[in-house]
Amino acid sequence: MAQYPELNGKVAVITGAGRHKGLGEAMAKRLAAEGCKLVLTDIGQAKGQYASADAVGLSDELEQIVAEINAAGGDATAFACDVTDAEQVAEAAKFAVERYGSLDIWVNNAGIGYLMKPILEMEVAEWDAVQNVNLRGVFLGIKFAAEQMVKQGKGGKIINIGSQASKSGFAHASAYTTSKHGMTGLTRVAAMELGPHGINVNQICPNHVTTGLGAWQNAHFSEVTGKGHDKYMQDMKDRIPLGRPGLQEDIAKACAFLCSEQAEYITGEAMNVSGGEEYH
- Residues sharing a CB contact under 8 Å with residue 156, sequence separation 6 or more, in sequence order: 103, 104, 105, 106, 145, 146, 149, 198, 199, 200
pLDDT in tens, 50-88: 444 445 567 899 999 999 999 999 999 999 999 999 999
* Coil, strand or helix at 81: coil
H or E stretch including 227? none
Domain range summary for the chain, segments of one domain joined by +: 5-209+247-270, 211-245
Instruction: Give the whole-angstrom CA distance, residue 29 versus residue 241.
Output: 28
Reported pTM: 0.92
Instruction: Give the whole-angstrom CA distance, residue 86 versus residue 92.
Output: 10
Average pLDDT over the chain, rounded to an integer: 91
How many helical (H) and strand (E) elements, i.e. helices and strands, does the chain have? 9, 9
Residues assigned a catalytic role: 176, 180
CA-to-CA separations, 209 to 104, 177, 196, 239, 270, in angstroms, rounded: 27, 16, 34, 14, 17
Task: Determine whether domain 5-209+247-270 maps to CATH 1.20.910.10.
Answer: no
- Residues sharing a CB contact under 8 Å with residue 13, sequence separation 6 or more, in sequence order: 38, 39, 40, 41, 92, 93, 96, 103, 105, 106, 107, 145
Instruction: Give the whole-angstrom CA distance, residue 107 versus residue 161.
Output: 7
pLDDT in tens, 134-188: 999 999 999 999 999 999 999 999 999 999 999 999 999 999 999 999 999 999 9
pLDDT in tens, 108-133: 999 998 898 999 999 999 999 999 99
Q: How confident is the model at residue 213, as a pLDDT?
A: 64
Radius of gyration from C-alpha coordinates of the chain = 18
pLDDT in tens, 16-28: 999 999 999 999 9
